[in-house]
Every structure is written in C-alpha cells, then in structure tokens.
Chain A
Amino acid sequence: DQQVKQNSPSLSVQEGRISILNCDYTNSMFDYFLWYKKYPAEGPTFLISISSIKDKNEDGRFTVFLNKSAKHLSLHIVPSQPGDSAVYFCAAISTDSWGKLQFGAGTQVVVTP
C-alpha cells in the first residue's frame, strides 16, 4: 500500500522557470516530510524537510509547502537550473514508526536550456 504518492512520473521545465513537484500522502500519522534528489548511479541527496507543525520551509532556491488538511506537499525550485535535472523523491516519517522513511515513486525532472 503506497502511503506516499507522486503522481507525476516526469516533469520538463525550461531553465530559469519554476519547477513544481507534488506529493500526496494518506497516513495522517506522518509528521515529518523530506525531499531527496537522486542522480543516476548515486545515492539520494537530502534537499529540504518540513515538520508537520509548519506549512512552509525555504532554503535558497528550494521551498517546500505543506497542506495538512489536504495531505499534500509540494516542492518549488526557482529558478530551475540544468543541474537540477534528476529524480526527486518525496518521503515521510510517522510518529509511531521512527526510522521508517516512506518514499514516493519519484518524479524525473528535466531542465531544458
């Protein structure tokens, strides 16, 4: 049962524009959310996280928004750069399941010149 869903398998965006990646979850016990970026043949790299007590967290070009009532979060990347081309995974941890990161299926982002 997939508790974290990324319904867009791919996203193409022009360099300099905004990339918006979406993630939905079903488990209301999730209280911490993370975004990871992964290049081929490498491990995932942590990007940004957000606690369920917040609705926004910003770090440079990356902003994560959390809408708890809709069980939805999004990652905004602005401006998008060619080096941002990678697979982005949304992940979540629940209060009763420490250490067990639940990953979404990932979204392949391609930034075109």
Chain B
Amino acid sequence: DTEVTQTPKHLVMGMTNKKSLKCEQHMGHRAMYWYKQKAKKPPELMFVYSYEKLSINESVPSRFSPECPNSSLLNLHLHALQPEDSALYLCASSHPNRDREEEQFFGPGTRLTVL
C-alpha cells in the first residue's frame, strides 16, 4: 500500500464551525505532515509529526490544531477559521530517518472553503 488517503475530499464550513480533516497512511512511515496550498502557489508546510510527536510548527495560527493519534493517522482540527484559510490542505508522509531517501508521499488533499 503506497497511498496516503485524506477525508473529506471537499469541505465547506462557516467561520463559527468546528471541523476536522483526516489523513491515513499504511506505509510504515513515522513522519507525517500538513501543508496548505493556495491556487497557483507551492505547498506551504504547516506541521510535522515525527514518531507521533509534533516536531515542527511553522507559526501556524491556533485555529488550526493538529493531532497524531497513532503512527498511521493524522488529524487537523479546524475552529473559527477565516475566509482566507480557504485552500487545498495536503497531508504527506515519509521515513523520518535521514539515512534513507526523504521523498514525501502526498495525499490528494482536502479542498476547504470557509464562508
């Protein structure tokens, strides 16, 4: 299984809603990532988890809250978002060991629209 899956595929939410994005991989990767991508821009790193512990937070606003319940799952909890948070949210995973190749495998993304 060489796939990263993300649900939902599309999400529309109001600024007062609470929602969660989910990501799953079964490749045995112990590093998982959240990226945000706006139209015609490259992906921007948000969070990195390594061995289920948060290792990088790229100064992301607290209205985005990541969670890594186990080595295969990664969640992104959303609360009180702004319309400018509308974007494609990508999950990725990789081996965390620098002695190995560092390709990150991406999921298809969740297209988020904040009204």
Judge if A25 is at the interface, Cβ distance under 8 Å: no
Measured CB to CB, the nearest residue on chain A to B106 is A43
Task: Give every chain A residue within 8 A of B101 (Cβ-Cβ).
Answer: 49
Measured CB to CB, the nearest residue on chain A to B49 is A99
Chain A contact residues, majority secondary structure: loop
| Interface-located stretch among A12-20, A61-69, A100-108 | A100-108
Q: Complex: how many Å from CA A103 to CA B94?
A: 16
Interface contact B42-A104, CB-CB below 8 Å: yes
Measured CB to CB, the nearest residue on chain B to A6 is B42
Contact of A42 among B43, B94, B108 (CB under 8 A): B108
Give the interface centre of A42, A43, A49, A100 by most chain B CB atoms within 10 Å. Answer: A43
Interface contact A49-B103, CB-CB below 8 Å: yes
- For window 71-86 of chain A, which residues contact chain B by CB distance below 8 Å? none
Number of A residues with CB within 8 Å of any CB on chain B: 20
Judge if A34 is at the interface, Cβ distance under 8 Å: yes
Task: Give every chain A residue within 8 A of B56 (Cβ-Cβ).
Answer: 99-100
Interface contact B41-A105, CB-CB below 8 Å: yes
Number of B residues with CB within 8 Å of any CB on chain A: 30
Q: Complex: how many Å from CA A2 to CA B105?
A: 23
- For window 73-109 of chain B, which residues contact chain A by CB distance below 8 Å? 88, 90-92, 94, 96, 98, 101-109
B60 CB, nearest partner CB in chain A, Å:
14
Known contacts A49-B101, A93-B102; is-contact A100 B45 (Cβ 8 Å): yes
Task: Give every chain B residue within 8 A of A105 (Cβ-Cβ).
Answer: 41-42
Measured CB to CB, the nearest residue on chain A to B55 is A99
Interface contact B45-A44, CB-CB below 8 Å: no
Measured CB to CB, the nearest residue on chain B to A95 is B98
Other than the given A46-B103, A101-B43, 14 more pairs (CB < 8 A) read: A34-B102, A43-B90, A43-B92, A43-B107, A43-B108, A43-B109, A44-B90, A49-B102, A49-B103, A98-B98, A99-B33, A99-B48, A99-B50, A103-B42
Binding site for B on A (CB under 8 A): 32, 34, 36, 41-46, 49, 89, 93, 98-101, 103-106
